[in-house]
Amino acid sequence: MTEFATRVEDVSISGIREVFEAAGEDAINLGIGQPDFPTPDHVRQAAIEAIESGQVDAYTSNKGISQLREAIATKYDRDYGIEVDPEHTMATSGGSEALHLALEAHVDPGQEVIFPDPGFVSYDALTRFAGGTPKPLSLREDLTLDPAAVEEAITDETAAFIVNSPSNPTGAVQSEADMREFARIADEHDVLCISDEVYEHIVFEGEHHSPLKFAETDNVIVVSACSKTYSMTGWRLGWLVGSGDRIDRMVRIHQYAQACASAPAQFAAEAALTGPQDPVDEMVAAFEERRDVVVDGLVDAGLEVPTPSGAFYAMPKVPDGWCEEVLDRGVVVVPGDAFGANGAGYARLSYATSMEDLKDALEIMDDATSAVR
């Protein structure tokens, strides 16, 4: 039999799956990384109309339909006052493909990629697939990424650093001052800043800021998606924003690996970006209410947890054996070390689940905490 390539042998399946598989059928699942709301109706209708009118039977342009690229560009001006040329955008199969393209197109074998630890599981794996060397960086006490630490970690071998705000798994949101610093570092050190903004609209305190706004060179690339904002994880639609040259290089890979993002999803995404945004506001309000209940419940249980300002995750510090105890009692949480070595001693809880389940889970977690202390 043909041997498997080293680059896949070196990467294992995400630890999150293992937890799901260990859980019983009746378990309350706080391990899930997707909103528990339906995709807004007008978005579904746009896809249905595109299908019925025969607009999705053929490949689209590699970079995506022009209406969607216009909608992406307009969104940055509307939301953040950032002028983006539609030519500097491309549609991808989710934020996941966008991250993959950004790394494949910019990282040479042996080059280093700096990213937060704990951080989203794909950063390490996709860096390895690109032949790069992962450089996980520990976080501040409040679980944000420190620009000074990033700057210190940069070497001649550094190709890129990844910033993710709001963050999976911590829910932390980087300040405007941090984002300005990330842009300055990308400019001054001539390294790429990949800003993963898939949770950009799920912010409870303060605002989302993109380093794209502050960069003076073309060294910032933005990755985002419809997945979390519009509860569209199954549609597989994301995008990239970057200079014409960078988009040109990334589309070379996309052209051969994907041809184009799914056409029905592109029409749906255009409707999501240009249509009413109230479903997003309603979802964010529900997440905020749950966030407060979860944080209060964890603090009452005697756990230390920085209050997450965004996304739909909380990351408390937990005693040894806590995750196993909680799982035995029927609540699925993800052990922090699934997100990097520095995640050890933490757990990631997703509150993208009903308030009723959250309240039951908090009681169970309270009992489990007393049992392991």
Distance between CA 15 and CA 6 in Å, rounded? 20
Closest approach of Cβ 262 to ligand PLP, in Å?
12
Q: How far is the CB of 227 from ligand PLP (least distance, A)?
A: 3
- Pick between residue 196 and residue 325 the one whose CB is nearest to ligand PLP: 196
The four Cα atoms 172, 116, 104, 186 give a dihedral, to 10 degrees, of 80
Angstrom CA distances, 71 to 66, 67, 268, stand at 9, 6, 12
CB of 95 or CB of 171, closer to ligand PLP: 95
Distance CA 83, CA 73 (A): 7
What number of other Cβ atoms are within 10 A of residue 315's Cβ?
Answer: 26
> Which CB sits closer to ligand PLP, 223 or 331?
223
Residue with nearest beta carbon to ligand PLP: 94
d(Cα 278, Cα 12) in Å, to the nearest integer? 39
Q: How far is the CB of 228 from ligand PLP (least distance, A)?
A: 7
Nearest residue to 122 via CA among 196, 176, 224: 196
Q: How far is the CB of 168 from ligand PLP (least distance, A)?
A: 3
Continuous H helices in 107-169: 122-129, 147-153
User: Using CB under 6 A as the criterion, which residues of the chain lie in contact with ligand PLP when the complex forms?
Assistant: 33, 94-96, 120, 164, 168, 196, 198, 225, 227, 233, 238
Angle, CA of 219, 220 and 221, to the nearest 5°: 120
Q: How far is the CB of 38 from ligand PLP (least distance, A)?
A: 16
Q: Output 171 or 279, the one with its CB closest to ligand PLP.
A: 171
Nearer to ligand PLP, 120 or 287 (CB): 120
